Chain A
Amino acid sequence: MAPKLPTSWAQLPPTFLLPDAFLPIITKRGVKYGWTTAPARGKPARFNQKTAGLPVLEQSPAAALARKELTLPLRTGALGIKKGMTALYDPDTGVRTPCTVVQFDRVQVVSQKTREKNGYFAVQIGSGWKQPQNVGRPLMGHFAGHGVSPKKFVTEFRVKNESGLLKAGVTIGPEWFLEGQFVDARSDCKGKGWAGGMKKWGFKGQPASHGNSKNHRTMGSSGASQGGGSRVLPGKKMPGRMGGNQVTIQNVKVLKVDAEKGLLVLNGCIAGPNGCVVKIQDAIKKPWPTIPAAMEKVKEALAANA
């Protein structure tokens, strides 16, 4: 049959006379970008007023910041390279103190994170130096935008408020920390590979003899049978990858600060092999240190007022 065109489009009846099935069924009103832009049909928050006596919501970003209020340090930390361990002797008392030597390598502030823009306050710190050709364009632009040379290691340290933020390009040396103060040192510990239950969790293993056969270092039972639900409970300690995770050593005392050599000598041991990156920040479980520079500012202000 030959195609047949309608004789005239004017023959179609006006739209208001057409049946509903012929009209487009897509909703257009109040919909944009796939979600509704219509005004909210109610204000559910009005039921959660302070006068209502209901518990305050704890899922908001503001509530999260309030929770961290006491544990966020006032000032930024720094990145160091673990150089090795040795000991310090007190010539008077003869006390030997084992220590870890951490060296600072061109530690600089790269950028800042603010509450308005990122939802929290933090200082981005870079350390070392990287060949510019080995840095991708996005990161290169990030460094150039803040006027900082390409850095080998970049990390961020959260701070409590904007008073803890530092300008990009500010250099942080070991003198940032005071002798005798306490810091938290976090670094990636040595990876042990796939390890059995005895090594990873300290399981006791089985006896060597008394009829034991081919089960000396196995983990044994992984739980009760029918009474326990006939299943392995979540979080059961099992063999698997061990180490290689970040470990925080809290309340490490700063024994010595050598700004000239860029050295920070910390008490005791720090996780990780020699040459690993150590993130050092004021200890959260000790009172915040009193910084002499801040004291000088206060003194200057007092002198100016007097």
Chain B
Amino acid sequence: MATPTHTLRPLTCWKSILRHTRHQKVVTRSLTTYHQNVPYSKFQLPPPALKKIKVYPAPPFPAANTKEPLKALCADQIALLDPTGVRTSLFSKTNPEAAKVGDILLVRLKGGDPFAGVCINIRRRGVDTGILLRNQLTRVGVEMWYKIYSPNVEGIEVVQRSAKRARRARLTYMRKPKHDVGSVQNLVLAYQRSRSGLRGSAQKEEGLKGGKKKSVRGKKH
């Protein structure tokens, strides 16, 4: 009497059958002897036909005319603050008569005392241009920055030009005791005396009261 076969038993044969077929495949593959190279280009598929995407043109750009907006803004401001162009020419690089570093400058202010000193730095930034003046008050070195286009600055005058052209852009060495010119008070006083003397001889009709500032300002602007 044979033992009853397990229900899964018939499936066991599949493994050997599959192994057999696999062996056969290997045999047939190894029998192939002829092989010819085919250029890869023949098999290259044509690129997929991509839909063309419409390109819209850029909108009009009127601001493109203003390539340098900063300069344009500065020019507008300067035209407003310095309509005569006196300040611009006083510190212009192209003007041979312009104030340079090393010159002694006098800045008259709308509210407050005028300040004079040696110009040791000119910071050129369009409407934001400033000058650095150095002087000694009560034997203490004082440096002041003034914005040349500021409405608070009434006028800038050249008291004395430097004998020689400075060979530096910034004369910071003047802070050292060896090079410090010290107080320019005497020079400024002499300059003011000569100016008033000139004015007294030339314009006698002008009154003393309030004439000093006005006339000087009128000459400057």
Q: List residues of A whose CB falls within 8 A of some B CB.
A: 3-6, 12-13, 18, 22, 83-84, 86-94, 96, 101, 103-106, 108, 129, 132, 137, 140-141, 143-144, 147-150, 171, 258, 260-263, 265
Contacts and interface: CB of A to CB of B under 8 A. Distances in A.
Contacts of A3: 13-14, 16-17
Nearest to A146: B56
Given A86-B73, A90-B151, A141-B53, A260 B62 contact: yes
A101 B73 contact: yes
Interface string B128-141: 10000000000000
Interface residues of B, number: 38
B160 to A, nearest CB: 28
Interface string B59-74: 1011101100110111
A149 B57 CA distance: 5
Interface in B24-64: 50, 53-59, 61-63
A91 B57 contact: no
A85 to B, nearest CB: 8
B62 A263 contact: no
A106 B16 CA distance: 75
A129 B58 CA distance: 7
A148 B57 CA distance: 8
Given A137-B53, A144-B54, A144-B55, A89 B66 contact: no
A76 B104 CA distance: 54
B53 A144 contact: yes
Contacts of A6: 10
A90 B147 CA distance: 13
A171 B74 CA distance: 27
A113 to B, nearest CB: 21
B77 A89 contact: yes
Contact of B80 (A91, A103, A150, A260): A91
A60 B66 CA distance: 49
A137 B48 CA distance: 14
Contacts of A90: 151
A18 B66 CA distance: 88
B103 to A, nearest CB: 24
B94 to A, nearest CB: 21
Contact of B70 (A12, A84, A137, A262): A84
Contacts of A89: 77, 81, 127, 147, 149-151
A105 B114 CA distance: 46
Contacts of A101: 69-70, 73
Nearest to A132: B55
B69 A94 contact: no
B56 A144 contact: yes
A150 B125 CA distance: 36
A13 B54 CA distance: 67
B193 interface: no
A261 B53 contact: no
A87 B10 contact: no
A88 B77 contact: yes
A302 B107 CA distance: 58
A148 B151 CA distance: 47
B110 interface: yes
Contacts of A91: 80-81, 151
